Structure 1
Amino acid sequence: MSSPLYLLKTHRFAPLFGTQFLGAFNDNLFKNTLAVLLTFQAAEWTSISSALLAPLIGAVFILPFFLFSGVAGELADKFDKARLARIVKVWEIFLMVIATVGFATHSFITLMIVVFGMGMHSTLFGPIKYSIIPQHMGENELVSANALVESGTFAAILLGTLIGGVLSGIPNGGVIAGIASIAVAIIGYTLSRYIPNAPSLSPEMPFSLNLIAQTRNAIRLAYQNRMVFLSILAISWFWLYGALLLSQFPSFVQSVLMGDETTVTILLSLFTLGIGAGSILCERLSHHSLRVSLVVIGAIGMGLSGIDFALAAQHFTTTGDIYANPQFFHILFDLTLIGVFGGLYSVPLYALMQGRSEAHSRSRIIAANNILNALFMVSGAVVTILLLGDGWSIPDIFLLVGITTLLVAGIIARLIHTKAKNEL
């Protein structure tokens, strides 16, 4: 068991991994195809300003996380998770059929409905995915399984984003992307049928469709376990940092680096590959056990490399050919390091959240994680908009988030020290 890849040969993990990978791929294939088409052909689709379309798509996608995460967690705690996964994949096939129609008819409203539906798809699948892992894995396999899921997810995000960008640039690319997404969703459903049953541990639990009550209940359950709740807050910071970087890449490349679409793709690719590499490195360094110290190392690394990234961006000078500029490769190196340390940081936190959660309420706690992740990402976006409006530059904002990440590292290290001291 020297490599986590052995899990990909097991019936208890491989179908779940494949289902998750294809779902993440489809999300990003659809969203990026739509985003690029709307950016360059906005007048043919809607009267909304092209500058507002990207944040609008993001907001519509993330809205279901606030509305339905509580109910999604309760469903995954009450019913067999493998069966729910199959239902969610059928929902994905249905959405991709509608998306294909929307692309063919240039119906903006139809496609935004699909964006909302795909957000709901991710909302429903998240608690299933993360709560089924500890149900099928041994405690010494949690870090390995999460490392594979994290690296696989970001690889799927990158692949879907790149292919979506390519398809959006060819005639009838939207329709082609839609048909491809239908095929991928069907394959994902087929794989989901091989996920071993994961029976509910609390089938008698009452079920309610009260969205507000379920959201409040999920957060309350997470808050009752201090270690779990702190892990969720730390994970949420990771998503805030990552979402802020990804959302600002296009503007950063255009206004600071003076690059083009290819430059954006390079930044996205290296950051994503860095997270995947960091996730696998975390598994190697963990030796099949949970090492919280890696979280501190990851946070310090994200902070320091983030600060250097921001300072390099602040002092970047254009020289004509960006690919002949050593400063550009300095920036790429720092960005890759942020991703690598991000993988080191996030994987142990997911394993900690899963391992320390009560089995009968684990899905609802993971739903609370999704809610707080979404809240942090939206808050980060709002603060970014306010700071940009107040005259801050994008590198200034990158510097702020890098420094704040060092503060987060200090808080985590202090908490670990206090816990160790109390256990003596």
Structure 2
Amino acid sequence: IMAIAAVGFVFEWYTLLFVALFLMGTHSTFFGPIKYAYLPQAMKEDELVGANGLFQMGTSLAILVGMIVAGILTQLSHSLYWISATVLVVAVLGYLAARYIPNMPAMQPDLKINWNIITISLSTVRYLYSLPFLFFVILGNSWFWFYGATFLTQVPEFSKVILHGDESVVIFLLTLFSVGVSIGSLLCKSLTKNQVSLRLLPFGIAGLSIFAIDLYVSLSSLNINVNNDTLLGISDLFGVSGSWRVFADLFLLGFSGGLYIVPLYASMQAYAPKSHRARIVGANNIFNAIFMVTSAIFAIVILNVLGLSLPQLFLVTGVLNIVFGIFLYLKLNRHIKQAVIQTHDEVVI
């Protein structure tokens, strides 16, 4: 796929680049479910939370490093050649790393594949709905991607419009959020004592709302008097009154996100039936995609249809998170006993 993309970059064939983009999405539909379903099979029960923390940290930092490297490469002469070479090298390194993953036996080696995408997707979602605890866990996962997409897609805009920052400020803000997610994810292992548990979920929910609302307050009270054409660097913003509060809010939003998402992913893996684990993760990806598309529509409605500002978008999202978070936590507490019993029965059988 990256060879196709490299040809598209070098010759600037946009149609070919769109084909490569579609194929990368297709690749992810295989890679994601296998990756998350493999983890509980390869790790011991008391290693699952820590492993998910590393997964989440690795994902956040890889996305961040990718954006930084892409920004650097685009500034070089013959940038399209550099980009093409880089994506090919990364693809080869990924393949070599994958060769060292220990083999695990298939949970259903005789499974017959249904090649009808629509019917198999619907049957997978129906099966998920028959497992209420996992259904609400996946709704919670998908809400995280809705929430994260709402914020991260707006970072370049509020960096330019409100902070009057240059490209380095955008990277710095994204770094704050990504590092926050990474630290929050890693701390889940220690805070839960490596036990699959939802006890950190209320703290994650509360943090996502508190710091989103505070980000609205800090951005609304920020007053930067510069010409529209003037772009400030990171060092310039450090001297602006109130900027540190904005930076802290973004970091703590990411930190809260780490506390929120890791327990949900660990619970999804721990309580999913072994025979359907990869398909459960596949259903999770379906809902993730729907929620991320909904996030884009939500932002368009708030900003363009209702005419609210970027800080007000963050405020509305934070308030919605309180409502959804309370609903989610109550539903999970209601159904977790049934999930524990079903998992125990599966182990006994």
Does the alignment reach a TM-score above 0.5? Answer: yes
**CA 1:195 to 1:417, structure 2 compared with 1: closer, same or farther past 3 Å?**
closer
The correspondence for 1:110, drawn from 8, 12, 16, is 16
The correspondence for 2:222, drawn from 316, 333, 341, is 316
**Residue matched to 1:252:** 158
Q: Distance in 1 between matches of 2:78 and 2:309?
A: 38
Long gaps (5+) in structure 1: 1-94
The correspondence for 1:159, drawn from 65, 86, 103, is 65
**CA-CA distance at 1:141 after TM superposition:** 1.1
**Residue matched to 1:282:** 188
How many aligned residue pairs are there? 329
**Residue matched to 1:262:** 168
Structure 2 counterpart of 1:411, one-letter code: F
Q: Distance in 2 between matches of 1:97 and 1:313?
A: 43
Q: Distance in 1 between matches of 2:287 and 2:94?
A: 28
**CA-CA distance at 1:333 after TM superposition:** 0.2
**CA-CA distance at 1:185 after TM superposition:** 1.3
On the 8 A contact 1:277/1:343 being kept in 2, the answer is: yes
**CA-CA distance at 1:326 after TM superposition:** 2.7
Structure 2 counterpart of 1:260, one-letter code: D
On the 8 A contact 1:319/1:325 being kept in 2, the answer is: no
Percent of residue pairs identical = 38
**Residue matched to 1:210:** 116
The correspondence for 1:325, drawn from 209, 232, 240, is 240
Q: Distance in 2 between matches of 1:314 and 1:199?
A: 55
On the 8 A contact 2:10/2:84 being kept in 1, the answer is: no
Q: Secondary structure of the residue that 2:109 maps to in structure 1?
A: coil
Structure 2 counterpart of 1:406, one-letter code: I
**Residue matched to 1:97:** 3
**CA-CA distance at 1:146 after TM superposition:** 0.4
**CA-CA distance at 1:105 after TM superposition:** 0.7
The correspondence for 1:347, drawn from 244, 262, 266, is 262
**CA-CA distance at 1:223 after TM superposition:** 1.3
**CA-CA distance at 1:133 after TM superposition:** 0.3
**Residue matched to 1:393:** 309
1:338 correspondence with 2:253 = yes
Q: Distance in 2 between matches of 1:370 and 1:326?
A: 42
On the 8 A contact 1:221/1:364 being kept in 2, the answer is: no
**Residue matched to 1:63:** none
Q: Distance in 1 between matches of 2:221 and 2:51?
A: 41
Q: Distance in 2 between matches of 1:235 and 1:161?
A: 23
Structure 2 counterpart of 1:127, one-letter code: P
**CA-CA distance at 1:399 after TM superposition:** 0.4
**CA-CA distance at 1:152 after TM superposition:** 0.7
Q: Secondary structure of the residue that 1:293 maps to in structure 2?
A: coil
The Cα offsets for residues 20-79 of structure 1, whole Å up to 9 and x where unpaired, read as xxxxxxxxxxxxxxxxxxxxxxxxxxxxxxxxxxxxxxxxxxxxxxxxxxxxxxxxxxxx
The Cα offsets for residues 192-220 of structure 1, whole Å up to 9 and x where unpaired, read as 11211122211222211101011112211
**CA 1:420 to 1:380, structure 2 compared with 1: closer, same or farther past 3 Å?**
closer
**CA-CA distance at 1:249 after TM superposition:** 1.1
Moved more, 112-121 or 315-324: 315-324
Structure 2 counterpart of 1:350, one-letter code: Y
The Cα RMSD (Å) is 1.7
**CA-CA distance at 1:416 after TM superposition:** 5.0
**Residue matched to 1:415:** 331
**Residue matched to 1:121:** 27
**CA 1:204 to 1:419, structure 2 compared with 1: closer, same or farther past 3 Å?**
closer
**Residue matched to 1:369:** 284
Q: How does 1:284-299 map to 2 (within 5 A)?
A: 284-299=190-205
**Residue matched to 1:306:** 212
Q: Distance in 2 between matches of 1:346 and 1:215?
A: 24
The correspondence for 2:275, drawn from 360, 363, 376, is 360
**CA 1:107 to 1:290, structure 2 compared with 1: closer, same or farther past 3 Å?**
same
Q: Secondary structure of the residue that 2:154 maps to in structure 1?
A: helix
On the 8 A contact 2:60/2:181 being kept in 1, the answer is: yes
Q: How does 1:174-193 map to 2 (within 5 A)?
A: 174-193=80-99
**CA 1:260 to 1:408, structure 2 compared with 1: closer, same or farther past 3 Å?**
same
The Cα offsets for residues 251-307 of structure 1, whole Å up to 9 and x where unpaired, read as 111222221211111111100110001001111101110120101110111111111
Q: Distance in 2 between matches of 1:326 and 1:218?
A: 52
1:225 correspondence with 2:134 = no
**Residue matched to 1:403:** 319
**CA 1:346 to 1:134, structure 2 compared with 1: closer, same or farther past 3 Å?**
same
Structure 1 counterpart of 2:6, one-letter code: T
**CA 1:96 to 1:356, structure 2 compared with 1: closer, same or farther past 3 Å?**
same
Moved over 4 A (4+): 416-423
On the 8 A contact 1:240/1:376 being kept in 2, the answer is: yes
**CA-CA distance at 1:421 after TM superposition:** 9.7
**CA-CA distance at 1:419 after TM superposition:** 5.4
**CA-CA distance at 1:144 after TM superposition:** 0.8
Q: Secondary structure of the residue that 1:209 maps to in structure 2?
A: coil
